[in-house]
Amino acid sequence: MIYGGAAAFAAAGFTALWLPPAVKGFCGDRDTGYGVYDLYDLGEFSQRGSVRTKYGTRAELLAAVAAAHAAGVRVVADTVLGHRLGADAPQRVTATPYADADRTVVAGRPRKILAHTKFTCPGRAGRYSGFVWNAHAFTSVDVDGGRRGGRREHPPRVYLIEGHAFAGGVSTERGNYDHLMGANVDLGRPPVVAELLSWGHWFTATTGVDGYRLDAVKHMDAPFYADVWLPAMRAAAASPARIATAAGPPPPPPLPAAAAGEAAGGGGGDSVAATVGGACLVDAPPPPLFAVAEYWSPDVRVLTAYLAATHHSVALFDVPLHGRFAAAAAAGHCAASGGAGSGGRSRRAAATAATPPADLTTLLDGTLVAAAPAHAVTFVENHDTVAGAALASPVAGWFKPLAYALILLRAAGLPCVSGATGAVWMRAAGGATYRLVTVAAVAARDAGGAAASGIANGGGGGGGGGGGRVLRVAADGWAAFPVAARSVAVWVQDP
C-alpha cells in the first residue's frame, strides 16, 4: 500500500507517515509488533513461525521507505524498547513478588521462579548483533513459569528479579509503573543501554527513517530517551556520515513551505496527518529526528511534567483532548438518540435531561494543545482507543468529522488522522487563523486571517447555510459565524 501509494499521500498534502513497529513480535506474522521478540528481525529470518512480520518483509519495508522518500514524504517509525515477549528458554532466578495493583507493596518473600527471560533468536544466529538477552537484562517479569500451567497468580504479581530495581523516572500509577508486560527491560544496566543504542544506529541507518514514535514511555525511565538514546540518534542523523551512508536511502528533499505547514497567508506551524490501514501520517518537523512519545494520561499536568523532565525533547500525543472528544461525542449522541415510536422519544427525552450536550466552548480546556501547542500531537482515535483495544475509548462516529475539523483547521498542534477509525481524509493549510465557534450566534473575533471555522454538537442549530452565503464582519472586527447542529462550517475571507 505504501510502496504504491506514497505519491497519493503526498498529493493529498500529507508530509510524513507513521509506520507501525516493523520488528518481529512473539506471535510472528500475526503480531502487531508491540509484543517485541527480536528488534533486528525486520521480516528477514524464520522465527516465531514466520519470516515476514505482520506488515511484510525487510525488503518490502525498505522499498516502502524509499518510495515515501521519493514522493517527499518523511517516515516516522514506531519504536518499542521497554519489554520483550516470547523467550526462547526460561531461566531459574530469585525474585520478590510485588502486588500488581501497587508495585510498592511486597507480596511475599523472595523465592525461586522460572522466568521467561532468555532470548537467543536462533533464526538470526547472531547476525547484526551477538547480544543475548537474559535475566541480567531485565528488571522483572509477570509470570512464574514454574507454576502449574504457567499461569499468572491471582491476585496478579510482578516479580522483581534479584539484583535489579524498579526505575524511578516512571509513572506513579500502581505505585511504580515501570513494568508493563512480559520481561521488562532494565534501562539502568550499561550493557543493555549500549545494545539499544547500537540497535538504534543500525535501524536508523538501515531504514533511513526520519523520526520515531516512542511507545509506552510512562513505563520507561524518563532520562533514557531524553539524555541518552535520542541525543545519540539525533547526533548520528545530523552527521555527514549518515547522509553519505550506503546502508539506507538518503533523507527526503526539503518539502515546500505549504506542505511543511506554512501557507502563503501567514506563518504558523499547523500540519496534516493521516493513518491508512494502521499506519499513521503526521507532519513532522524537519530532520534530524522528530520524536513523538506516547504517554497515556488524561491529566495535562502529568504530560507537561513529562515534557519538562525530558527537556521538551519530544512531542506528546494529546490524550486529554481525545478524552474530551469521546465525552463530547457521547453527550451529544445521548441528546439526539432514541428509537422510533413513543418509547424512543421517551428514552431520548430522559437521556437529554440526564446528559446535556457538551459545551464546545470549553472543549480545549485542560488539553495539551492549549498548554503546550508546540509539543502536542492532536488525534481523534488511534489503534489503542477503538472498541476492543487495550485503552478503548471510542469517539462516536457522528462526531469524528467534527473532531477532525477541529484539529485540522487550527494552527496549534500537529494533527494525526487515523484510518483505523474510519475517518474521511481532510486537508488543511497551516498558517491561517481559525477560530472555534460552537452553535449559532456565538461571536468569534475576526483576527484578520483568511478564514474562520466552527463546529456544533447536538444542540439547536442556527444553520450554516449553503455554499456562497456571505457574512460581513462589523467595523469593530466582530461577527457571528453560524454553524448548523452536528456539522462544520468554514468561512473563507473574500479576496
**pLDDT, tens digit, for every residue of 385-409?**
877 777 888 888 888 888 988 898 8
For the question of whether the overall pTM of this predicted structure is more than 0.75, the answer is yes
Position with higher pLDDT, 427 vs 323: 323
Q: What's the CA gap between 100 and 174, in Å, rounded?
A: 7
Using the predicted structure, report yes or no on whether residue 42 has a pLDDT greater than 80: yes
Q: What's the CA gap between 185 and 202, in Å, rounded?
A: 19
Q: Under DSSP, is residue 80 helix (H, G, I), strand (E, B) or coil? A: coil
Which pLDDT tens digit goes with each residue over 218-250? Answer: 999 999 999 999 999 999 988 755 543 333 333
* Residue 294 annotated among the catalytic residues of the structure: yes
CB of 212 within 8 A of CB of 79? yes
Per domain, the residue ranges of the chain are 84-186, 433-495
Helix axes 190-207, 58-70, angle to 10 degrees: 60
Q: What's the CA gap between 300 and 367, in Å, rounded?
A: 6
Using the predicted structure, report yes or no on whether residue 46 has a pLDDT greater than 80: yes
Q: What's the CA gap between 432 and 452, in Å, rounded?
A: 9
Question: Given 178, 195, 283, 294, which residue is catalytic?
Answer: 294
| CATH architecture of the domain formed by 84-186 | Beta Barrel (2.40)
Which pLDDT tens digit goes with each residue over 113-163? Answer: 999 999 999 999 999 999 999 999 999 999 999 887 667 788 899 999 999
Q: Under DSSP, is residue 398 helix (H, G, I), strand (E, B) or coil? A: helix
Question: Given 38, 78, 88, 215, which residue is catalytic?
Answer: 215
